[in-house]
Chains A and B, each alone.
Chain A
Amino acid sequence: METVTLTIKNQPGLYLEADTITPDAFAGKKAEEIVDLPVYVGREQHRLGDFFDVSGKAGATPAETKIVVGGDLSRVKRIGQQMTGGEIVVNSNTDMYVGAWMQGGKITVNGNVDAFAGTGMKGGEITVTGNAGNYLGAAYRGDWRGMAGGKISVAGNAGSDLGTFMNGGEIVVGGDVDVHVATHAEGGKIVIKGNAKSRLGGQMVEGEIYVFGNIDVMMPGFAYREDVDIEVNGTKGRFALYEGDLGERHRKRKGQKIYGKLYQLVKA
């Protein structure tokens, strides 16, 4: 695997739309070619090299390409957007749409990510050591095709609206989450190791939510069924199982209606 190192040298006046920072765009290119890749500030097109020092070279394919991005990237959006393979390490906080519509490969952010990380994600892995903003692993605005595969792990907290229209894959949040979890979900698994606020599983058709901490307000569309002893991501315990959203349509499997499932760890 070859490595390309990007270090930001000029901060953009607005925000930098850098969806070319992917192993897919870099593959087969030398540093001199990578600096010429297009990026946008507002409606103006610039070169990647106008903002970044670039060193090293990419592998022949995305899968053989690793990108390490450094400096203050808090005004850089769309790192790893639509990537299909390879690896990106971001050593900073960074802005919106990290790994959005990602299909494969691995992104590690040593810092915080802003909203829409993993939007419409189909595969691969995103690891965030800090916090995530709103709409983590959600669908694009208006779209009904949310996260369908892959895994997102956030060590800290996540904002509101995570897993909206989620259809598959897994999101694990180490800390707390804001309102709206798995709204409209039709699949997938969300694990919240901290506390949740309210509106979990609104209009949820299918899928699973696990909460280890408190839930401020349960949705009225969820009904308590039973306590179950299960193991969730290494944590064994007794969970209260709720099913919902009872107000939504639900498929039947072997004559049984399939509901969204919400498990809450029962405190000893």
Chain B
Amino acid sequence: MAEFLIKNGFVFDPVLGIKGDKADIAIKDGKIVETTALSSPKIIDASGKTVMAGGVDVHAHVAGPKVNIGRNFRPEDKLFTYKPGHGIERMQGGFSVPTTLRTGYNYARMGYTTVMEAAMPPLYARHTHEEMRDTPILDQGAYPVFGNNWFVLEYLKNHEIENTAAYIAWLLRATKGYAVKVVNPGGTEAWGWGLNCDNVHDPVPYFDITPAQIVKGLIEANEYLGLPHSMHVHANNLGNPGNYTTTLDTFKLSEGIKPNSKFGRDQVMHHTHVQFHSYGGDSWANVESRAKDIMAYVNSHDNLTIDMGQVTLDETTTMTADGPFEHHLTELNHLKWANADVELETGSGVVPYVYSPNIKVCAIQWCIGLELALLAKDPMRVFMTTDHPNAGPFIRYPRIMKWLMSEEARKQQFDAFKHKDKVIEATNLAGIDRELDLYEIAQMTRAGPAKSLGLSHMYGGLAPGLEGDVAVFDFNPNEPYAPDAIETAFSNAECLFKAGVQVIDDHEIVSNGNKRTLWVNTKVNENPQVMRDVKEKFLRYYTVTLNNYEVSGHYLPNPYVIEVDATQ
């Protein structure tokens, strides 16, 4: 395979601890190597430019049935956004719910090389894998959702951790999934009765189990197995004024549990899109930021990681397995609503949403997301996301970088708010003068998420032995720059390497790479009870047979299997 030497760039790499010093990065046979290992490399002159590892997105909705519902029911999202084929790029379209091709291309342009699909309904795992297969360049994995699954509810009601773990291992294998995702634990099942679970002690109808039992039980099962990633939760009560107490209650469920993983992570809970979970007040009239309370907890608890869910002030498409929340949203904005039930497993809803800078609540949400990142003591545990496309499309990551790195950029946005004074009053952001540097950005977008995913042996850094995922940006951190220059440069990588293949050359996409799908194969002790339960549920309840359920062979033409042995 080709050899590359990226010379003289300003390197930002938390894994090597390089904070903008000039360094050469060598790639050979798909991996980062010592520069001495190269014989006749292609030289990339990166002088005056920024060099980082490929970005890692820990949470985005980019593939599968609910993304496709968004595409299908929002033809207007593609209006005026089509781009005809050009060079190696095929035709693409869509803004907040882009086509699979555009998803791959646009992540690559931002220098991202690994993206996790954050919610895969197990029954529709095949569809999710089909879309990931069609997303070029990126390495991807998908998190099956467990928090409203009947098996899980029944096992955890009696605190049967071993059975829950055996079921998780089976389902990850059956669906070729990567991690344990939990969305509104119990609440989506309650939605089948027209109800919800508003706090961690609000029992699920019929199953008579609380969200707290579900979350704690899934953490324990996750650690019983020693999976690469921790349990990944979207807590109850998302998007409601006053919900920060539910979030803190959810965080506390991780207390006293130690990580058991050979994959180098320190957390037992990842809480996603925390912006949506950090609201004070008791109505939309007096909603306020509680990011300080949230971050006080996060900063003092090492066994927790979070991501932002930053509102980008765009028109977007919300989509979540939190079915009752989407109903709540359509009642608020009166826009179209799609709702789906996934038998025995989960549900979902989809509603378009316009985050307008003229609406006070949207501006408060924008502040809260940034506060979370700017109040973070350890950027290795707080990651940049927009919960794409829920709080905004992922293509805005470079704009979020601008806001995080420049107080001036934040001031410009404050000045553009219609209700600036009220927004400032309800939030802390105007009083925060912290400006993140590119090293901290690399922690939040590369090394941190890779570590949290248990993938720091592959991604997130530039140490020899890691995957040859490297981005070069036309940005000189040592010269004065206008805030907008950050956004421009990091939206449009000059060079990108994925697993040692040059994917972008001179800002042009020149290769579709060798996309891989990551999944976790966990060996567990034989568990006849769980296998009997699986058979019985398929016979009695599922509309498909087991043979039509499992994801096999051709859905993953280029799989990357992470083996876990939990038989000890």
Which residues does A use to contact B, with CB under 8 Å? 43, 45, 140-144, 249
Contact = CB atoms under 8 A, between A and B. Distances in A.
Contacts of A143: 75-76, 79
B420 interface: no
A140 B352 CA distance: 15
A144 B335 contact: yes
9 contacts: A43-B91, A140-B75, A140-B76, A141-B76, A142-B76, A142-B77, A142-B336, A143-B76, A144-B335
B91 A142 contact: no
Interface string B365-381: 00000000000000000
Interface string B296-340: 000000000000000000000000000000000000001110000
Contacts of A249: 334
Contacts of B85: 43
Please report whether the interface of chain B is mostly helix, strand, loop or mixed according to DSSP. Answer: loop
B87 to A, nearest CB: 15
Interface of B: 73-77, 79, 84-85, 91, 334-336, 352
Contacts of A45: 84
A249 B84 CA distance: 41
B188 to A, nearest CB: 26
Nearest to B75: A142
A138 B236 CA distance: 40
A131 B76 CA distance: 27
A143 B73 CA distance: 9
B74 A142 contact: yes
Contacts of A144: 335-336, 352
A17 to B, nearest CB: 11
B353 to A, nearest CB: 12
Nearest to B334: A249
Nearest to A119: B79
A260 to B, nearest CB: 15
B127 to A, nearest CB: 21
Contact of B84 (A43, A140, A142): A43
B73 A142 contact: yes
A140 B79 contact: yes
A99 B337 CA distance: 30
Contacts of A140: 75-76, 79
B43 to A, nearest CB: 37
Nearest to A40: B84
Contacts of B336: 142, 144
Nearest to B331: A249
A257 to B, nearest CB: 16
A59 to B, nearest CB: 26
A143 B75 CA distance: 8
A143 B335 CA distance: 10
Nearest to A205: B334
Nearest to B74: A142
Contacts of B76: 140-143
Nearest to A141: B75
Given A43-B84, A140-B75, A143-B75, 5 more contacts: A43-B91, A142-B74, A142-B336, A144-B352, A249-B334
B358 to A, nearest CB: 16
A45 B85 CA distance: 12
B414 to A, nearest CB: 28
A141 B75 CA distance: 6
Nearest to A43: B84
Max count, chain A CB within 10 A of own CB: residue among B79, B85, B352? B79
7 cross-chain pairs, A with B, having the tightest CB-CB distances, nearest first: A143-B76, A142-B75, A142-B76, A141-B75, A140-B76, A142-B74, A140-B79
